[in-house]
Amino acid sequence: MTEQSTDRRGNAFIFLALSIVLSLGGVAGFVVLFVRDFNVYWLILTPVILAVYQIPAVFFFWLYKRRRLRRGENPGHDAGAPGSGLV
Protein backbone atom coordinates (compact mmCIF):
# COMPACT_ATOMS: atom_id res chain seq x y z
CA MET A 1 0.00 0.00 0.00
CA THR A 2 1.45 3.34 -0.97
CA GLU A 3 1.53 6.45 1.13
CA GLN A 4 -0.83 8.21 -1.28
CA SER A 5 -3.55 5.53 -1.02
CA THR A 6 -3.27 5.58 2.78
CA ASP A 7 -3.68 9.35 2.73
CA ARG A 8 -6.79 9.08 0.55
CA ARG A 9 -8.27 6.49 2.88
CA GLY A 10 -7.68 8.86 5.80
CA ASN A 11 -9.40 11.68 3.94
CA ALA A 12 -12.41 9.51 3.19
CA PHE A 13 -12.64 8.53 6.86
CA ILE A 14 -12.50 12.20 7.85
CA PHE A 15 -15.47 12.92 5.57
CA LEU A 16 -17.44 10.09 7.16
CA ALA A 17 -16.61 11.28 10.67
CA LEU A 18 -17.53 14.87 9.77
CA SER A 19 -20.87 13.76 8.36
CA ILE A 20 -21.72 11.90 11.58
CA VAL A 21 -20.64 14.79 13.81
CA LEU A 22 -22.51 17.37 11.74
CA SER A 23 -25.63 15.22 11.66
CA LEU A 24 -25.68 14.92 15.43
CA GLY A 25 -24.87 18.61 15.70
CA GLY A 26 -27.83 19.48 13.49
CA VAL A 27 -30.23 17.57 15.70
CA ALA A 28 -28.68 19.11 18.83
CA GLY A 29 -28.93 22.57 17.28
CA PHE A 30 -32.62 22.04 16.60
CA VAL A 31 -33.22 20.93 20.17
CA VAL A 32 -31.31 23.87 21.66
CA LEU A 33 -32.97 26.51 19.47
CA PHE A 34 -36.56 25.33 19.17
CA VAL A 35 -37.59 22.95 21.95
CA ARG A 36 -37.71 25.60 24.68
CA ASP A 37 -40.45 27.54 22.85
CA PHE A 38 -42.10 24.64 21.03
CA ASN A 39 -45.60 25.17 19.63
CA VAL A 40 -47.75 23.91 16.76
CA TYR A 41 -45.90 26.04 14.19
CA TRP A 42 -42.57 24.47 15.08
CA LEU A 43 -44.22 21.05 14.97
CA ILE A 44 -45.30 21.69 11.38
CA LEU A 45 -41.91 23.12 10.39
CA THR A 46 -39.79 20.51 12.18
CA PRO A 47 -39.12 18.33 9.08
CA VAL A 48 -38.00 21.34 7.06
CA ILE A 49 -35.80 22.71 9.83
CA LEU A 50 -34.14 19.32 10.43
CA ALA A 51 -33.58 18.86 6.69
CA VAL A 52 -31.84 22.23 6.45
CA TYR A 53 -29.63 21.41 9.44
CA GLN A 54 -28.65 18.09 7.83
CA ILE A 55 -27.38 19.62 4.56
CA PRO A 56 -23.70 19.85 5.67
CA ALA A 57 -23.79 16.25 6.92
CA VAL A 58 -25.25 15.01 3.62
CA PHE A 59 -22.59 16.91 1.68
CA PHE A 60 -19.71 15.32 3.60
CA PHE A 61 -21.31 11.87 3.35
CA TRP A 62 -21.59 12.37 -0.41
CA LEU A 63 -17.88 13.24 -0.54
CA TYR A 64 -17.09 10.11 1.47
CA LYS A 65 -19.12 7.89 -0.90
CA ARG A 66 -17.51 9.51 -3.94
CA ARG A 67 -13.99 8.93 -2.59
CA ARG A 68 -14.83 5.33 -1.72
CA LEU A 69 -16.21 4.63 -5.20
CA ARG A 70 -13.19 6.19 -6.89
CA ARG A 71 -10.95 3.81 -4.96
CA GLY A 72 -13.12 0.87 -6.01
CA GLU A 73 -13.98 -0.14 -2.46
CA ASN A 74 -17.22 -2.11 -2.24
CA PRO A 75 -19.27 -0.08 -4.73
CA GLY A 76 -22.50 -1.85 -3.79
CA HIS A 77 -25.33 -3.14 -5.94
CA ASP A 78 -26.60 0.23 -7.17
CA ALA A 79 -23.30 1.89 -8.10
CA GLY A 80 -24.14 2.12 -11.78
CA ALA A 81 -27.90 2.26 -11.54
CA PRO A 82 -29.59 5.12 -13.34
CA GLY A 83 -30.54 7.87 -10.93
CA SER A 84 -28.27 6.61 -8.17
CA GLY A 85 -26.08 9.71 -8.44
CA LEU A 86 -23.04 7.74 -7.31
CA VAL A 87 -21.15 7.52 -10.58
3-state helix, strand, coil in the chain (%, to 5): 70, 0, 30
Give the confidence band of 87 by pLDDT, cuts at 50, 70, 90.
very low
Q: What does the pLDDT look like over 38-84, one tens digit per residue?
A: 888 888 988 998 898 889 999 989 988 888 888 776 655 555 544 55
Taking the C-alpha atoms of residue 34 and residue 46, their distance in angstroms, rounded to an integer, is 9
